[in-house]
């Protein structure tokens, strides 16, 4: 990453090093001013990079773990590609409009995850499998944990920089990795690949492949396995593919049954909705309350209303900022979708014009009349929460399609049913925010379940 | 044949006949009841201008309506000017690819074909494409003109063409149906056939479409065979962006001339890439005044030089008249070489269709 004139230059990072394309996408900041230039690679570049990655050997285990940890330290505290950590944070906020706090969290997560990348992945190893065929247990017959492929491609999400910690385990496992950045926030992927190369990964072991929309599929096709972030459409597209792991909307939920005194959990509900600027899939989209949801909705609205409107790079900023026109578009969408609900916050709109062509997306709290109201599935990239009534009769059905469900309940039979429901990925019980996700905890299953397999060995 | 009338129409392309004189002669030919085609003579009655008096130069061709769509249904024989007599020398009847609906049909007459081929040959010479070297030709034959024309070009240059056929319409159907893997498999099928030819035969020129060339360029054996044997690569029939041209020329096939051609069936010709030092520039000059380009905005007004717009193509020859044809491509408008009437084109791409603004649900 280097600055030509005033624009940050984000080159592709291919097998021959940095690659400046003739096809450059200008990345604007939230004021609409050009901020960075992203080199878009053509399909042929993707195919040649994938061929190089497939030919390369992985770094030996110790070396790659050291390199991952070193890259994590550099990412979080060092100067990478000419940008200090603070300059990087500034770039992320300035372009994506994410509030400063999300970049702080990302740097903190980064250090935690990269130190523990291997330990985390070991937690996912089946109890019957050893890491290496040389392990004495194979003399009597054992499973051996092995990669399902050589090259792993990731269509990186642009919603929050913390999300990048999720694919790092693949490097610990020995995969060669190609990352396609989101043009909404290409700085984090560029910083990651640059830091990994600086730390010892070869240009034929990790690559950054910015592409236009049409070429994006080439990145997936060229890899053995791929993880793709996107909307419901993306999930449908790849649902039947054994080699693509789609990551769709999270639609995280919070359930409070009648045996829970919601006032004791209000702090946790508020932070579940609004941490990460509300932009993560592990932010709560819908709160279900057994009994009258109105008091909780009112209290939630009061608390969220107190969050300050600030430019994103302000150290106290916690809410996302968008170009005014885009913010207005999101507002129109929300108001149209919220028709027929009871607004507690943001019913007149969620746009707070900062007067400089940008606007803060203020929190929204709406109460819906039924547990299965269609609004409960609408996930947004700002603190936007739907409060819904729930009853034992409604049961598990409205709680489906959820990456994290926090349930505050004494009903063990209900908890059993939540664990039995396949479309609920994670169940947290009691006073735990939906965004709780330390290293070693599966996010949407262990990624290793997708990346690894167990082979039998006897010798 | 009534070719003694207005012989300016028979000038070789390289003679650069005077555009005004040429266009007026062409109008006299195509709209004279003795020499014009049944199609144009009938169509003339519906025009709100008189081609004989109102069309005095290339710019006035814009007066014509775009009759391209009518070529989907018109009887092929009715497109042949009567001036060619009872037994016109027809090379073939060719069809558009079928990208935009039912195919359009044109008639390729010998005199134009010879003229067009001579000009193509001169372009290949200018780019250093070897003579006397066999071609491996991976262009579609059948209803498509490319396979016919390029195979004969090889023969004209003293060699043979090994031909591998392809059906672009089937590929388009596969892609439209979302069957991209099947489309890839079809390209793989073409390349396996190419492998046999490249392994066993003397091949000095590779003529290929950009998508298949891109696939070839990631196959190690095929890439090595092309590097060893081939003295020039000719691409046509689709688009290639600057970044891909860079990669192919700079990294995959260094030192091998890669020459692009932009053409279409409706143009009855393909225009070779202008020779230049900058590999990133890909400019196509038409053989004016026979074929001329105009780059226009949505309202049909010319865009500024250096600006992108839709391509309007005029074909005016003794054999055929297709003025004011709004092409499916867009390009950057660039000035032609000195003396050329109309525009030249840079960085031709298919027309982009943009979707309206949409708020996306979900966080990614």
Give the nearest partner residue to B241 out of A42, A157, A333, using CB atoms.
Answer: A42
**What whole-number distance in Å separates Cα of residue A98 and Cα of residue A89?**
10
Provide the token pair at B200: 């066993």
Any long-range contacts for B27-36 (C-beta under 8 Å, 24+ apart)? B27/B51, B27/B52, B27/B55, B28/B52, B29/B5, B29/B81, B29/B83, B29/B318, B30/B81, B30/B321, B32/B83, B33/B82, B34/B2, B34/B82, B34/B83, B35/B2, B35/B5, B35/B81, B35/B82, B35/B83, B36/B81, B36/B82, B36/B83
Provide the token pair at A314: 């302000």
**What whole-number distance in Å separates Cα of residue A357 and Cα of residue A231?**
28
Q: Quick one: pLDDT at residue B352? A: 60
Calculate mean pLDDT across residues A190-218: 95
**What whole-number distance in Å separates Cα of residue A347 and Cα of residue A387?**
14
Residues of B in contact with A162 (CB under 8 A): none
Residues of B in contact with A43 (CB under 8 A): 214, 244
Angle at which helix A61-77 crosses helix A85-96, to 10 degrees, equals: 70
DSSP B54-86: H--SGGGGGGS---GGGGGTS-GGGGS-GGG-S
Provide the token pair at B211: 């998508």
CB within 8 Å: B244 and A379? no
CB within 8 Å: A158 and B241? no
Bridge partners of A18, per DSSP, are: A13
Q: How confident is the prediction along chain B (364 residues), in pLDDT tens digits per residue?
A: 455 678 899 999 989 999 999 999 999 999 999 999 999 999 999 999 999 999 999 999 999 999 999 999 999 999 999 999 999 999 999 998 766 678 899 999 999 999 999 999 999 999 999 999 999 999 999 999 999 999 999 999 999 999 999 998 888 888 888 888 899 999 999 999 999 999 999 999 999 999 999 999 999 999 999 999 999 999 998 888 888 998 999 899 999 999 999 998 999 999 999 987 666 678 999 999 999 999 999 999 999 999 999 999 999 999 999 999 998 789 999 999 999 999 999 999 887 644 333 344 444 4
Q: Quick one: pLDDT at residue A158? A: 83
CB within 8 Å: A22 and B218? no
Q: What residues contact A145, with CB distance under 8 A and at least 6 apart? A: A125, A126, A129, A130, A131, A452, A453, A454
Residues of B in contact with A330 (CB under 8 A): 359
CB within 8 Å: A48 and B251? yes
Q: Quick one: pLDDT at residue B269? A: 95
Bridge partners of B290, per DSSP, are: none
- For the cut 90, the answer to whether the pLDDT of residue A377 exceeds it is yes
**What whole-number distance in Å separates Cα of residue B44 and Cα of residue B47?**
5
Strands B161-163 and B105-109, bridge-based pairing: unpaired
CB within 8 Å: A230 and B362? yes
Q: Give the tens place of pLDDT for each residue, A76-92.
A: 999 999 999 999 999 99
Q: Which residue, among B211, B224, B364, would best test binding to A if mutated, counting the most A CBs under 10 Å from its CB?
A: B364
* DSSP 8-state secondary structure symbol assigned to residue A240: T
Residues of A in contact with B180 (CB under 8 A): 217
B300 has a chain A CB within 8 A of its CB: no
Coil, strand or helix: which one is B228? helix
* DSSP-H helix ranges across chain B: 19-30, 38-44, 51-54, 110-126, 145-156, 168-176, 180-200, 210-216, 220-229, 242-247
Give the nearest partner residue to A329 out of B243, B359, B362, using CB atoms.
Answer: B359
* DSSP-H helix ranges across A338-446: 412-420
Report whether B222 contacts B194 (CB < 8 A).
yes
Helix (H) or strand (E) holding A359: strand A358-361
Calculate mean pLDDT across residues A31-38: 94
CB within 8 Å: A380 and B218? no
B362 has a chain A CB within 8 A of its CB: yes
Residues of A in contact with B219 (CB under 8 A): none
A98 has a chain B CB within 8 A of its CB: no
B353 has a chain A CB within 8 A of its CB: no
Q: Considering chain A, what percentage of its residues have pLDDT values greater than 70?
A: 99
Side-chain half-sphere exposure of B35, counting CA atoms within 13 A:
20
CB within 8 Å: A47 and B218? yes
Give the nearest partner residue to B243 out of A16, A45, A182, using CB atoms.
Answer: A45
Q: What residues contact B173, with CB distance under 8 A and at least 6 apart? A: none
Domain with CATH 3.40.605.10 in chain A: 2-131+140-248
Annotated domain spans of chain B: 7-89, 109-345
Domain with CATH 3.40.309.10 in chain A: 252-429
What ipTM was reported for this prediction?
0.79
φ, ψ for residue B185, nearest 5 deg: -65, -35
Give the nearest partner residue to A21 out of B217, B243, B361, using CB atoms.
Answer: B243
Q: Which residue, among A12, A42, A230, would best test binding to B if mutated, counting the most B CBs under 10 Å from its CB?
A: A42
Provide the token pair at B288: 């004016």
**What whole-number distance in Å separates Cα of residue A45 and Cα of residue B244?**
8
DSSP B99-128: TTSSPPEEEEEHHHHHHHHHHHHHHHHHTT
**What whole-number distance in Å separates Cα of residue A182 and Cα of residue B68?**
41
Cα-based angle A369, A373, A379 (whole degrees, multiple of 5): 120
As to burial, measured by CB atoms within 10 angstroms (0-12 exposed, 13-18 middle, 19+ buried), residue A352 is middle
**What whole-number distance in Å separates Cα of residue A216 and Cα of residue A153?**
11
What CATH class is the domain A2-131+140-248?
alpha beta
CB within 8 Å: B248 and A333? no
Q: Quick one: pLDDT at residue B98? A: 67
Residues of A in contact with B242 (CB under 8 A): 22-23
A51 has a chain B CB within 8 A of its CB: yes
B220, closest residue in chain A (CA to CA)? A51
Sheet-wide strand order for A129-130: A129-130, A142-147, A452-457
* Closest to B314 (Cα-Cα) out of B51, B87, B34: B51
**What whole-number distance in Å separates Cα of residue A134 and Cα of residue A124?**
20
Calculate mean pLDDT across residues A147-162: 92
Report whether A270 contacts A283 (CB < 8 A).
no
B355 has a chain A CB within 8 A of its CB: no
Report whether B217 contacts B245 (CB < 8 A).
no
- CB atoms under 10 Å from CB of B127, counted, come to 17
Place of tokens 């001013």: A33
**What whole-number distance in Å separates Cα of residue B291 and Cα of residue B282?**
18
- For the cut 60, the answer to whether the pLDDT of residue A427 exceeds it is yes
CB within 8 Å: A22 and B359? no
What CATH class is the domain B109-345?
alpha beta
A248 has a chain B CB within 8 A of its CB: yes
Q: Quick one: pLDDT at residue B362? A: 42
Residues of B in contact with A22 (CB under 8 A): 241-243, 246, 280
- Tell me: cis bond preceding B316? Omega within 30 of 0 counts: no
Which CATH number is correct for A252-429, 3.40.50.300, 3.40.50.2300, 3.40.309.10, 3.40.1280.10? 3.40.309.10
**What whole-number distance in Å separates Cα of residue B268 and Cα of residue B110?**
12
Place of tokens 């000038």: B11
Calculate mean pLDDT across residues A428-446: 94
A364 has a chain B CB within 8 A of its CB: no
**Chain A / chain B CB contacts < 8 angstroms:** 82
Residues of B in contact with A231 (CB under 8 A): 360-362, 364
Q: Quick one: pLDDT at residue B280? A: 67
Report whether B67 contacts B40 (CB < 8 A).
no
CB within 8 Å: A42 and B362? no
Total count of residues recorded for chain A: 459
CB within 8 Å: B214 and A47? yes
CB within 8 Å: A23 and B241? yes
User: What's the N-to-C CA distance of chain A in angstroms?
Assistant: 50
Q: Quick one: pLDDT at residue B3? A: 58
Report whether B245 contacts B279 (CB < 8 A).
yes
Report whether B321 contacts B315 (CB < 8 A).
yes
- For the cut 50, the answer to whether the pLDDT of residue A2 exceeds it is no
Dihedral sign of CA atoms B224, A54, A229, A89 in order: negative
- CB atoms under 10 Å from CB of B358, counted, come to 8
A333, closest residue in chain B (CA to CA)? B359
Q: Quick one: pLDDT at residue A3? A: 44
A335 has a chain B CB within 8 A of its CB: no
Total count of residues recorded for chain B: 364
Give the nearest partner residue to B360 out of A45, A160, A231, using CB atoms.
Answer: A231
B281 has a chain A CB within 8 A of its CB: no
Q: What residues contact A75, with CB distance under 8 A and at least 6 apart? A: A85, A107, A110, A114, A191, A192, A195
B218 has a chain A CB within 8 A of its CB: yes
**What whole-number distance in Å separates Cα of residue B66 and Cα of residue B322?**
8
Place of tokens 């089937």: B170
φ, ψ for residue A300, nearest 5 deg: -60, -45
CB within 8 Å: A378 and B361? yes
**What whole-number distance in Å separates Cα of residue A113 and Cα of residue A73?**
10
B349 has a chain A CB within 8 A of its CB: no
């Amino acid at each position: 990453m280097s600055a030509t004139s005033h624009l940050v230059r984000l080159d592709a990072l291919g097998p021959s090093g940095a690659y400046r394309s003739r096809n450059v996408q200008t990345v604007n900041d939230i004021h609409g001013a050009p901020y960075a230039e992203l080199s878009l690679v053509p399909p042929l570049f993707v195919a040649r990079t994938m061929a190089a990655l497939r030919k390369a050997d992985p770094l030996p285990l110790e070396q790659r773990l050291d390199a991952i940890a070193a890259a994590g330290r550099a990412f979080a505290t060092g100067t990478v590609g000419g940008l200090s950590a603070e300059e990087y944070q500034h770039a992320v906020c300035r372009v994506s409009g994410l509030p400063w706090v999300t970049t702080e969290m990302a740097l903190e997560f980064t250090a935690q995850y990269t130190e523990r990348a291997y330990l985390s992945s070991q937690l996912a190893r089946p109890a019957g499998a050893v890491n290496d065929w040389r392990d004495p247990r194979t003399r009597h017959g054992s499973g051996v944990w092995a990669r399902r492929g050589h090259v792993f491609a990731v269509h990186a999400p642009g919603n929050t920089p913390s999300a990048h910690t999720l694919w790092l385990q693949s490097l610990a496992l020995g995969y060669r990795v190609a990352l396609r950045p989101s043009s909404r926030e290409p700085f984090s992927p560029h910083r990651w690949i640059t830091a990994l190369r600086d730390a010892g990964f070869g240009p034929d072991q990790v690559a950054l492949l910015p592409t236009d929309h049409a070429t994006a599929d080439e990145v997936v096709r060229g890899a053995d396995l791929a993880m793709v972030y996107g909307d419901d459409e993306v999930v449908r597209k790849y649902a039947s593919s054994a080699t693509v792991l789609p990551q769709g909307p999270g639609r995280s939920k919070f359930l409070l049954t009648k045996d829970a005194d919601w006032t004791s959990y209000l702090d946790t509900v508020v932070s579940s909705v609004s941490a990460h600027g509300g932009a993560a899939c592990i932010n709560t989209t819908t709160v279900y309350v057994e009994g009258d949801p109105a008091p909780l909705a009112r209290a939630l609205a009061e608390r969220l209303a107190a969050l300050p409107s600030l430019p994103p790079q302000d150290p106290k900023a916690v809410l996302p900022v968008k170009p005014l026109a885009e913010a207005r578009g999101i507002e129109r969408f929300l108001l149209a979708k919220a028709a027929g609900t009871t607004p507690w916050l943001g019913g007149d709109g969620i746009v707070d014009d900062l007067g400089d062509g940008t606007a803060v997306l203020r929190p929204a709290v709406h109460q819906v009349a039924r547990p299965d109201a269609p609004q409960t599935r609408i996930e947004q990239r700002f603190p936007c929460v739907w409060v819904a009534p729930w009853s034992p009769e409604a049961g598990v059905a409205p709680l489906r399609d959820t990456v994290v469900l926090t349930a505050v309940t004494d009903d063990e039979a209900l908890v059993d049913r939540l664990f039995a429901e396949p479309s609920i990925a994670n169940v947290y019980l009691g006073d735990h925010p939906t965004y709780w996700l330390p290293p070693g905890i599966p996010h949407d299953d262990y990624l290793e379940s997708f990346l690894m397999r167990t082979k039998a060995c006897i010798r | 044949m009534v070719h003694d009338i207005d012989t300016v129409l028979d000038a070789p392309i390289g003679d650069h006949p005077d555009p005004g004189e040429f266009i007026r002669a062409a109008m006299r030919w195509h709209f004279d009841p003795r020499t014009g085609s049944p199609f144009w003579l009938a169509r003339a009655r519906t025009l709100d201008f008189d081609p004989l008096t109102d069309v005095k130069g290339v710019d006035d061709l814009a007066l014509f309506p775009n009759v391209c769509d009518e070529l989907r249904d018109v009887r092929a024989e009715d497109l042949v000017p009567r001036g060619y007599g009872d037994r016109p020398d027809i090379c073939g009847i060719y069809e558009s690819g079928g990208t935009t609906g039912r195919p359009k049909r044109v008639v390729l007459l010998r005199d134009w074909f010879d003229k067009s081929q001579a000009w193509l040959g001169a372009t290949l010479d200018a780019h250093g494409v070897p003579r006397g070297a066999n071609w491996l030709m991976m262009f579609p034959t059948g209803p498509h003109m490319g396979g016919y024309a390029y195979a004969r070009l090889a023969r004209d240059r003293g060699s043979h063409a090994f031909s591998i056929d392809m059906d672009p319409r089937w590929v388009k159907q596969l892609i439209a149906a979302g069957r991209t893997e099947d489309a890839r498999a079809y390209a793989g099928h073409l390349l396996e056939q190419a492998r046999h030819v490249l392994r066993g035969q003397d091949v000095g020129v590779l003529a290929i479409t950009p998508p298949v060339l891109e696939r070839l360029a990631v196959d190690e054996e095929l890439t090595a065979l092309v590097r060893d044997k081939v003295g020039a690569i000719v691409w046509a029939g689709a688009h290639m962006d600057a970044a891909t041209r860079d990669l192919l020329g700079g990294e995959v096939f260094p030192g091998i001339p890669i020459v692009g051609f932009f053409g279409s069936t409706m143009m009855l010709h393909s225009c070779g890439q202008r020779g230049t030092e900058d590999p990133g520039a890909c400019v196509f000059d038409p053989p004016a005044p026979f074929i001329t380009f105009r780059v226009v905005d949505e309202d049909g007004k010319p865009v500024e030089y250096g600006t992108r717009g839709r391509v309007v193509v005029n074909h005016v020859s003794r054999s055929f008249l297709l003025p004011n044809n709004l092409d499916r491509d867009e390009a950057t408008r660039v000035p032609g070489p000195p003396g050329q009437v109309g525009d030249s084109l840079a960085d031709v791409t298919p027309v982009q269709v943009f979707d309206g603004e949409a708020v996306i649900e979900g966080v990614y």
